[in-house]
Amino acid sequence: MVALMLHSLQVISAETIRVNKVVGEKEELMFSVLKLVMSKVDQNTTFIQNDQELNTARAIGAVESKKFDVMWGGSTSTYEDKMLPIRIPALKGLLGHRIFIIRASDQEKFDQIHSLEDLKKLDAGLGKLWGDTKVMKLANIPTVTTMKYPNLFLMLEGGRFDYFPRALHEPWVEVKSRPELNLAIEKHLMLIYPFAQYFYVEKSNKSLHDKIYKGFEMAIADGSFDKLFFNHPMIKDVLEQANLKQRKVIRIKNATMHPDTPFDRKEFWLDLDNL
């Protein structure tokens, strides 16, 4: 009888976490990280995905109205004003590491880029409302923008700008899927700025915030987070294809990052020297 009561209490106390529908390789990785960190603090946690994928604005609304328990996204004032962030970068700052899609005939021009001042002589192409567009503009990097993502590839080929900076996991699929365009991946440069992809919960849900934070700390300390991260197919592909150690790194500041960003916790961030 006592055993049955204890089992019932366990079931009742188990956390149920509702999230947006998970679509795409990066989202699958984020979901896997969430499941890992929750397993450290509550092995009975269950996860429920939404039936359909909501856009960002609707997903934020779902967290605010407590229809979703967790969502994830970049460190932006929009997210952080409306929700409570767990301030551990869930992808080690990976999305702030950018390599370029260029015209296939332009590699020689990029071979002459050795500094930020050199890069500022060229125009970057970006989405008008993207977070990284604001980062680039604040760093005084010339930008050409459009509202429509597909247009950027046509604009690049047509000479409207010189390069399209992409997160490390993005450019190979994008170039390969557009064989009709004369595009290539730049071979020698990498632009880096601080960027965090966080988990977010509803503003008053400090209990879940603390569970995720504690579980994340445990997963980092015992090595299981690194094991999951570096063995994920998307990350393995990036590290094999991107030739990171041979790239010239150009760094810029990200003036949009919150003052509480944990820059002092080196173990939270991707370390190029130890890959």
Q: How many other CB atoms sit within 10 Å of the CB of residue 48?
A: 11
Can you tell me the distance from the alpha carbon of 98 to that of 85, in angstroms, rounded to the nearest whole number? 24
pLDDT of residue 10: 45
What confidence score (pLDDT) does residue 6 get? Answer: 43
**According to the model, what pLDDT value does residue 130 have?**
86
Strand pairing category for 164-167 and 97-103: antiparallel
Q: Measure the CA–CA gap between 96 and 100, rounded to whole angstroms.
A: 13
- Which run of H or of E encompasses 100? strand 97-103
Q: Each residue of 102-152: pLDDT tens digit? A: 999 999 999 999 999 999 999 999 999 888 899 999 999 999 999 999 999
Q: Are 167 and 186 in contact (CB under 8 A)?
A: no
Q: DSSP for 156-214, please give it.
A: HHTTS-SBEEEETTSHHHHHHT-TTS-EEE-SSEEEE----EEEEE-TT-HHHHHHHHH
- Per-residue pLDDT for 11 more than 80? no
- β-partners of residue 98 are 167, 191
3-state secondary structure of 49: strand
* Model confidence band, residue 13 (pLDDT cutoffs 50, 70, 90): low
Does residue 5 register a pLDDT over 70?
A: no
Nearest by Cα to 249 from 111, 114, 128:
114
Q: Which pLDDT value is given to residue 1?
A: 53
Edge-first strand listing for the sheet containing 71-74: 71-74, 197-201, 84-86
Contact between 83 and 205 (Cβ < 8 Å)? no
* pLDDT given for residue 129 in this prediction: 83
Task: Give me the mean pLDDT over the 22-48 stretch.
Answer: 96
> DSSP character for 220?
H
* Predicted confidence (pLDDT) per residue in 149-194, tens digit: 999 999 999 999 999 999 999 999 999 999 999 999 999 999 999 9
Residue 140's region, left for phi above 0, alpha for psi from -120 to 50, else beta, is left
Q: Of 31-35, 101-105, 241-245, where does mean pLDDT reach its minimum?
A: 241-245
Residue 268 and residue 262: Cα distance in Å, rounded? 8
For the whole model, what pTM was predicted?
Answer: 0.86
Domains plus CATH for the chain?
2-93+196-241 (3.40.190.10), 97-192 (3.40.190.10)
Average pLDDT, stretch 76-105? Answer: 95
Strand runs labelled E in 6-86: 16-19, 46-49, 71-74, 84-86
Position 245 scores a pLDDT of 86
Contact 100, 242 (CB under 8 A): no
Q: Which residue has the tokens 């106390």?
A: 13
- Contact, 235 vs 222, CB < 8 A? no
**Confidence at 273, pLDDT banded by 50, 70, 90:** confident
